[in-house]
Amino acid sequence: MDTRAPQQKAPALSTDCHFHIFGPFDTYPMSAGRTSTPPEALIPRYLQVAETIGVQRMVVVQPSICGTDNAVTLDAITRFAG
């Protein structure tokens, strides 16, 4: 999936205030009790989209498909801060 560059990028220091990272599922499996099964949404792809639209700050949110296992979100926070 390609994200086309918008005609105008987001203003400086714009924030994506809610997004999820899903997967990789072999490392961060989905909860057996989940109510949906989304495709993987990995950090490199998210960063590509953020760059394309001009988002500079981000708030990653724990996905419900992971239940109470916060590992994927903690990993994402660590990688974004790095």
Residue 4 included in any domain: no
Instruction: Enumerate the β-bridge partners of residue 60.
Output: 19
Q: pLDDT of the chain along its 82 residues, tens only?
A: 567 789 999 999 999 999 999 999 999 999 999 999 999 999 999 999 999 999 999 999 999 999 999 999 999 999 998 7
Where in the sequence is the domain holding 26, given as residue range(s)?
16-81
Gap between the Cα atoms of 31 and 65, Å rounded: 6
Residue 10 included in any domain: no
Give all strands (DSSP E) within the chain, no chain letters.
15-19, 57-60
- How many domains would you assign to the chain? 1
Query: Do the beta carbons of residue 72 and residue 30 sit within 8 Å?
Result: no
- CB burial string 14-29: b at 16+ within 10 A, e below: eebeebbbbbeeeebe
Supply the pTM of this predicted model: 0.86
